Amino acid sequence: MAEYQKIEYRIGKDGKITETVINGSGTACTDTTSEIEKALGEIDERELLPEYYEGEEKITTKSTESVTQM
């Protein structure tokens, strides 16, 4: 089941739009808002909240192969 996410928009007096994703973590935040961001125009600045980094694990794998001729 998909997790519920709320997107909050604040429009300042100067016309600057601030977007905040509530109840989102990881890349789900940016995935959820990507289409509307395209419609709004160029992004001047992006600040990722700590929730963006939740649950991310960095996995490094190393693969070695050897070939023996007979």
Q: What is the pLDDT along the chain (70 residues), one digit of tens a residue?
A: 456 788 899 989 998 888 888 887 888 888 888 898 888 888 888 888 888 887 655 555 555 555 556 5
Question: Per the structure block, which two tokens stand in for 53?
Answer: 């980094």
What pLDDT, on the 0 to 100 scale, is given for residue 32? 85
pTM above 0.85, yes or no: no
CA 30 to chain centre: 3
How many Cβ atoms are within 10 Å of 43's Cβ, its own excluded?
Answer: 11
